[in-house]
Amino acid sequence: MSAVTLDSTRFGAVQIAAESVIEFSNGLIGLGGSRYALLTSDAGSPFAWLHSMEDADVALPVTNPWLFFSEFAVDLSDGEAERLGVRDPNATDVWVTVRAASRLEDFSANLRAPILVWNGKGHQVINEAQNAPVRASLFPAAMTEQVVAA
Amino acid sequence: MLIVTRRAGEKVMLGDDVVVAVMEIVGSTVRIGIDAPRSVPVYREEIWHAVKEENEAAAQADTGAMQDAANRSG
């Protein structure tokens, strides 16, 4: 198992297994890049970082959408599923990008453009499902109050 | 920007591989068919733009903010 070094302005030099590098043949939408790696932070954190292997500055926080949105579903058009060659949804990891903010209630996740990962390949896709907004609140105000109260 | 006039049923080639066809024109709406290689994703512009903006905003996140959010959601 060979290791490669990921250079990061946020995390410094990080050693990762070569096989954990994910190839994005089309990059992230509007952001490009072709090779990324998932950096999982502390155990128990719902967030990971999708970090560029090519640009030390580029890293996007991501999360498992079902941790926050139990009703979440990915719906691809037939043409898109065929184009990408998605055959086994169960063997596909699904991540959504997270927009951070100074206030917790302004954090959001992009349910409209999830990132699918399988066999070392990644694609950011357009989710055709209903109720899949570009900015879905991660911590709705009511929940934030509960957390603060606890 | 290149501007070409096309009627319903006529097509435009982008290089040798991408075909853009005007399928139907009804009132102010034009239905367009696109035939492109698998390696070329096709997006509605407003969705592409919204996702690009969201990706760029996500990439601004700093570790402190994410640590804070992780602590609160644990």
Which amino acid appears at position A139 of this protein? F
**Least confident among A32-36, A89-93, A141-145, B37-41:** A141-145
B-chain residue closest to A67, CA distance: B73
Domain spans of chain B? 7-41, 43-74
Q: For strand A35-40 and strand A47-52, is the pairing parallel, antiparallel, or unpaired?
A: antiparallel
CA A46 to CA B66: how far, in whole Å?
A: 10
Q: Is the pLDDT of residue A114 over 60?
A: yes
The pLDDT of residue B7 is: 97
For range A35-48, the mean pLDDT: 89
Q: What pLDDT score does A30 carry?
A: 94
Q: What is the value of pTM for the model shown? A: 0.90
Distances from the Cα of A106 to the Cαs of A85, A99, A102, in angstroms?
Answer: 35, 8, 7
pLDDT band at A142 (very low <50, low <70, confident <90, very high): low
Identify whether the C-beta of residue A69 lies closer than 8 Å to the C-beta of residue A98. Answer: no
| A39: number of Cβ within 10 Å | 20
Outline where A20-107 has alpha helix (H).
Answer: 65-68, 78-84
Q: What is the percentage of chain B residues whose pLDDT exceeds 70?
A: 99
| Beta strand extents in chain A (DSSP E only) | 3-8, 12-17, 21-23, 35-40, 47-52, 59-63, 93-99, 108-109, 115-118, 121-124, 136-137
Residue of B54, B63, B71, B72 to mutate, interface with A, max A Cβ within 10 Å: B54
Is B27 in CB contact (< 8 Å) with chain A? Answer: no
Contacts of A92 (CB under 8 A, 6+ apart): A86, A116, A117, A118
B54 contacts A110? CB cut-off 8 A:
yes
Per-residue pLDDT of B23-43, as tens digits, reads: 999 999 999 999 999 889 999
Per-residue pLDDT at A148 exceeds 80: no
Place of tokens 């990324």: A36
Residue B46, H or E segment:
helix B45-58
| CB spacing of A30 vs B47 below 8 angstroms | no
Nearest to B46 by CA among A23, A55, A29: A29
* pLDDT attached to residue A90: 80
